[in-house]
Copies of this chain bind each other. A is one copy, B any other.
Amino acid sequence: MPEPVLKSTQAALVARLRREIAAGELQRGDRLPPEREMADYFGVSRARLRQALDQLEGEGALFRRRGQGTFVQPPPATDAAGLHRLARRVRPQDVMEVRLEIEPALAGLAALRANEKARAVFAEVAQATLDAPDQQSYEIADDIFHYKIAEMAQNPLFLTVYESIRSVRQQAMWTRTRAETYSAEVTSVLGQQHQRLAKAILNGEAEAATEAMRDHLICVSRTLMQAGPVVPQKTGDPCS
């Protein structure tokens, strides 16, 4: 029944790719080399390489987009150039203000619309935010976590809007500040909030997911800038 030779080399290729990506040896920055180069590098045909990439993409480890490339992290926004100029005018509270309106809605829609395969991938990503050993790993996992939610909402315009926000957030100079403010305890709290949010989405509880995302972002906002004036009125303090 098993087809040893071909399947084994295919599985070996997937394992090798996964290993090199995890080790960061093959990954330069965020984007992997073009498929044609990688096929040549590994000494396999492009079709075979693509099968391996297909599997990794199905597991949520890779993102691919025509004309842009293959990424370990979510790909950059479609325009990028125009958003780069915008990033200089935007303050941190501007970004959080928008996120607080967009992402809770995205979480609610994700809970309603995510298909089974996407839920499986999302469960792994959510777990990764808890297992993050250091702060940099958490940043990456958190980015993928939020991006997957936006994908699951299955609204191309909404996803584009989210990508604009994400692009500005990454390019803004104060990203450096944020990276320094996050401590180990804070990432732990945020990771637990991710779990609660992920549970709501996976169970299809839209309202709970919306609420969990709002609490999470409020916590992020408060951590980002102590006594931040982002959200005017709110009942309890979600940053327990």
Cβ 8 A contact of A158, one of B78, B97, B105, B158: B97
Interface range on chain A (Cβ under 8 Å from partner): 20 to 34
Which residues of chain B are within 8 angstroms of A109 by Cβ–Cβ distance?
97
Minimum CB–CB distance for A178 against chain B, Å: 16
Minimum CB–CB distance for A106 against chain B, Å: 9
Please state if A97 and B155 are interface contacts (CB–CB under 8 Å): yes
Q: Which of A121-164 contact B (CB under 8 A)?
A: 155-158, 160-161, 164
- A47: interface (CB < 8 Å): no
Q: Which of A80-119 contact B (CB under 8 A)?
A: 82-83, 86, 89-90, 94-95, 97-98, 101-102, 105, 109
Distance between Cα atoms of A165 and B164 in the complex (Å): 12
Chain A contacts to B: CB under 8 angstroms: 78-79, 82-83, 86, 89-90, 94-95, 97-98, 101-102, 105, 109, 155-158, 160-161, 164-165, 168, 206, 232
Can you identify 18 A-B contacts, CB atoms within 8 angstroms?
Answer: A78-B79, A78-B86, A86-B157, A86-B160, A89-B156, A90-B157, A94-B155, A97-B109, A97-B155, A101-B101, A101-B102, A157-B164, A157-B165, A157-B168, A160-B164, A161-B164, A161-B165, A206-B232
